Structure 1
Amino acid sequence: MTLQRPIRHSASSKRALGVQAILEWAFRVEKAQLELPVRRDVDGGGFGFGMEYVLIQRARLGCKVDGGQHKMGSYTHADAEVVAATLAGMPDRLGGKRMAIYVAEIARGGMTPDWLPGAVPRCVPVETKRNQHGERSTTIVVGVERVLHRGRWRSVEVLACPVTWRPHPEQIASARRGYEDWWQALDWVRDGLKAGGMLREVDVTGAMPKVRPWGVGL
């Protein structure tokens, strides 16, 4: 997805973007930095810092020409700074600072969390060996049995092939829980940006990634 810098428009012609596109624009295009100040005690029910931190950031940025904040010879759009400040308030119940950093890095890379699409657990040998006859499963001795062979008793090793599931069902489940956690974080950021109403040139739409893309019809 190629994202361009929003240009100054009237309030009636703001650029409409979904929260994932806004995050990618802020962190990938505008190179916004995620600042994580020390949190005060909150109950986790509101928007992190009660939005006052974002208001302070907005006030600090308000005097800049064209909404820019100079950083190392360049500037970051004021709306991108608001997005970063909002994300910084991620509540602990949704993963807190760790989730905020994760969401920012995912957006910076223009990615979506890997939920292992199409992954189906398969029962496979734990180990294989290859020789001149081809590839064979590695076996281990699991016991010894006495068998009667041509009138004589002999000890015969009982062999078994250790197997495992690849990918393991828990690996798939973990990847998909991670995707759902990311989705919940985006949903919170979207609501926070809408509630704050501080974006000057971007309108936050209701567009969201699929809740469970591995599910039929979702």
Structure 2
Amino acid sequence: MTLQRTISRAGSRSVKRALSVQAALEWAFRIEQAQLELPLPPDVTEEGFGFGLEYVLLQRAVLGCKIDGGQHKIGGYTHEDAEVIAATVAGIPGSLGGKRMAIRVAELARAGLTPDWMPGAVPRCVPTLVKQNQHGSHAGTIVVGSERIRVRGANARAMWKTIDILACPVTFSPHPQQIEAARRGYDDWCCALGWVRDGLIAGGMLRELEVTTAMPKIRPWA
């Protein structure tokens, strides 16, 4: 972890903690227990609304002082930088997933997790029916039709016999579309984190943290 020293207006020396955007999110939501529920402006309905950096800046300017976030954290104070991070996450635009993505980003950060992109997953052809007997397990079959064949009987006379046509139904597990969806979800999460990172850096609202440009690995499966 790198540290950057800054000089305050009063001339005292302070230290900013440098964190990647993922580490900053985990600090805000997991350690500080910041929440996404923020008050709405009186002239804006809840539906389709996200808190952008402009709104947070305006509210901070109106207050003229640091934000008291203690209302969200039971039994303690929620750091103002954590509240700014939460407000930024709440402003993720609709083009990047909007509120649904904001909730996903917050939940993953609170759990200290990265989206499961199914590392090492390879589609394999497997039977959908598996049967057990004294010799172990084997693929099951189903009747898909019938056919009349001519066979020679015990007295050497030809005769017709109807037999079942059997097939073993199979599927791919994990399914290629399942892997694709998991990795598309990881990509979407990375894009959302990139937007949050850029917003926090450009906004300059964090007082004790510095968000670096570091990001989770892009397309780690490539």
Shorter-chain TM-score: which interval? 0.7 to 0.9
1:159-200 per-position Cα deviation (integer Å, ceiling 9, x unaligned): 000000000000000000100000000000000001110101
Larger radius of gyration: 2
C-alpha distance in structure 1 between counterparts of 2:64 and 2:32, whole Å: 15
- Deviation, 1:49, is 2.6
- Deviation, 1:57, is 5.1
Q: How does 1:120-159 map to 2 (within 5 A)?
A: 120-150=122-152, 151-159=158-166
What secondary structure does 2:217 align onto? coil
The answer (yes or no) to whether the contact 1:126–1:162 under 8 Å persists in 2 is yes
Counterpart in 2 of 1:91?
93
Shift of the 35–10 alpha-carbon distance from structure 1 to 2, 3 Å rule, reads: same
The answer (yes or no) to whether the contact 2:29–2:109 under 8 Å persists in 1 is yes
Percent of aligned positions that are identical: 60
The answer (yes or no) to whether the contact 1:58–1:78 under 8 Å persists in 2 is no
The answer (yes or no) to whether the contact 2:105–2:189 under 8 Å persists in 1 is yes
C-alpha distance in structure 2 between counterparts of 1:130 and 1:190, whole Å: 54
C-alpha distance in structure 2 between counterparts of 1:155 and 1:172, whole Å: 43
What residue identity is the alignment partner of 1:146?
Answer: R
C-alpha distance in structure 2 between counterparts of 1:61 and 1:74, whole Å: 23
Counterpart in 1 of 2:70?
69
What residue identity is the alignment partner of 2:149?
Answer: V
Counterpart in 1 of 2:167?
160
- What is the root-mean-square deviation in Å for CA atoms of aligned residues? 2.6
C-alpha distance in structure 2 between counterparts of 1:154 and 1:27, whole Å: 72
- Deviation, 1:63, is 4.6
What residue identity is the alignment partner of 1:72?
Answer: I
Say yes or no: does 1:104 pair with 2:106: yes
1:41-69 per-position Cα deviation (integer Å, ceiling 9, x unaligned): 9xxxxx953522354157659356xx763
Counterpart in 2 of 1:33?
35
Q: How does 1:108-119 map to 2 (within 5 A)?
A: 108-119=110-121
Aligned residues between the structures: 202
Shift of the 38–144 alpha-carbon distance from structure 1 to 2, 3 Å rule, reads: farther
The answer (yes or no) to whether the contact 1:82–1:199 under 8 Å persists in 2 is yes
- Deviation, 1:145, is 1.1
Shift of the 36–164 alpha-carbon distance from structure 1 to 2, 3 Å rule, reads: farther
C-alpha distance in structure 2 between counterparts of 1:94 and 1:24, whole Å: 20
Which residue of 13, 16, 30 corresponds with 1:14?
A: 16
Counterpart in 2 of 1:44?
none
What residue identity is the alignment partner of 1:177?
Answer: R
1:115-147 per-position Cα deviation (integer Å, ceiling 9, x unaligned): 000000000001211122321212111111112
Shift of the 51–96 alpha-carbon distance from structure 1 to 2, 3 Å rule, reads: same
What secondary structure does 1:16 align onto? strand
Q: How high is the TM-score relative to the length of structure 2? A: 0.82
| Structure 1, unpaired ranges of 5+ | 4-8, 42-46
After TM superposition, where is structure 1 displaced by more than 6 Å over at least 4 residues in a row? Answer: none
Q: How high is the TM-score relative to the length of structure 1? A: 0.83
What secondary structure does 1:108 align onto? helix
Q: How does 1:42-61 map to 2 (within 5 A)?
A: 49-56=52-59, 60=63
What residue identity is the alignment partner of 1:199?
Answer: L
Counterpart in 1 of 2:82?
80
C-alpha distance in structure 2 between counterparts of 1:26 and 1:74, whole Å: 14
Counterpart in 2 of 1:24?
26
C-alpha distance in structure 2 between counterparts of 1:95 and 1:68, whole Å: 26
